Amino acid sequence: MVHIGTYWYSDGDAHTNSGVLNHWFYILAEGKAGTNDIGNFYNVVGISKEKAAKIVYRAETVYFNATTNYLQARNYTIQAAEDLYGSNSIESITVAKAWYAVGVGSNATINYNLNGSYVLCYENTVTYSLAAPLPPLGSVPVWSTSSNFTIISSNNSSITVKSSNTDGSGFIKATFSDGSIANKEVWVGKFNSGSLTGTSAVCRSVAYYYANVPGGHKAGYTYRWTMPNANWQIFSQQDNRIYAGPSGPAGTNTAGQMLAEVNNGCGWSVIGGIIVYPNSSCTIGYSYIIYPNPINSSNSLTVEKINTNAESNLSENTFKTNAITETEIFEVEIKDLTGNTRIPKKTIKNKSQLDISALQKGVYLLLINNKGEVSQQKIIIN
């Protein structure tokens, strides 16, 4: 029987219309394929009477009430299945498919996964296989691929393909009779697209830069970076991310082009670049100098605020500095490159000395906060 189908009683006869729930439970437990009274084709593989009974018991004891209708029953039993077997589980999706078979709610499909490499080099032969949780026993997929692959062979659980000799994205796909799919996005050859993101306008700051590649970073990729000029330095690197900035004394050139390259196993390729240049705080206004730097931990670090006037372009950055005559108060703090505070915030004046004897050898960041404007400089302790 189907909800509002051929045998549905519009006067609300409970004994007859309750057959919808009985039919739903049978389909959920045993499975069934066909076209129902309202013209919907369905193909449901049963999950067993034991699992179906557990789902109904939880729905009735936790969610159902005296006024629960069929649409609510659908939603409650899906929730019960997710409680027991997980979100997007085969059991919860089968609950929805069984309700669709009896005319309640929309159909549901399962998105399966494929095991196999994301990157294939030219003319490689590779096998992709269905990953757990597997489709119901007896399910027969129709395999398809993008044009940059040739199918060598296939069966109900795997496909073997050969890649072309052209760089670009592609896919491997299995489609099942109930509309469920297993789809794998893949890449052939070296990357021919990507981007580099990060801060363009810099002064004395250090910032994160990210190399963005198709499909995202994956284990095994290697990267190399070209800094804007000799005054730049990479302070730390993790996968496709670097922490970098100017490393020379205040007033040195910060401008140029940063480039990122990646090798995905099929060869090196440039994936992006950024032109960096001094921001407005470098061209006019205030700056800070710290010295000596590098420094021995037994010495004190001097922090001094100065007036800065600059004329700059991509090839030249000339600074003229003058000591500040009025009293300026600002905060300083020292952190390591992982962001942990090593010397807590201190309030200092125009020119002050910091005791760094508690710090071990290494590279640190000095954060300077002047009325909410924060800048940072690298310090090296020998």
DSSP 314: S
pLDDT at 373: 67
Reported as a single tens digit per residue, the pLDDT across 201-227 is 776 667 889 999 999 999 999 999 999
pLDDT at 318: 34
Average pLDDT, the chain: 81
DSSP 61: I
Of 84-93, 122-131, 195-204, minimum mean pLDDT range = 195-204
pLDDT at 285: 44
State the CB neighbour count (10 A cutoff) for residue 133.
15
C-alpha–C-alpha distance, residues 222 and 263, integer Å: 5
pLDDT of residue 342 exceeding 50, the answer is: yes
Domains parsed from the chain with CATH numbers: 14-101 (1.10.390.10), 111-188 (2.60.40.10), 195-278 (2.60.40.10), 280-381 (2.60.40.1930)
Reported as a single tens digit per residue, the pLDDT across 111-131 is 888 999 999 999 999 999 998
C-alpha–C-alpha distance, residues 112 and 133, integer Å: 7
Question: What is the percent of the chain where pLDDT is above 90?
Answer: 38
* Rounded average pLDDT over 85-107: 89
The residue with greater pLDDT, 309 or 54, is: 54
pLDDT at 310: 37
C-alpha–C-alpha distance, residues 371 and 305, integer Å: 13
C-alpha–C-alpha distance, residues 7 and 103, integer Å: 12
Reported as a single tens digit per residue, the pLDDT across 287-296 is 667 778 778 7
Reported as a single tens digit per residue, the pLDDT across 22-43 is 999 999 999 888 888 888 888 8
pLDDT at 317: 35
pLDDT at 288: 67
pLDDT at 201: 73
Whether the full predicted model's pTM is greater than 0.85, yes or no, is no
* Rounded average pLDDT over 364-372: 79
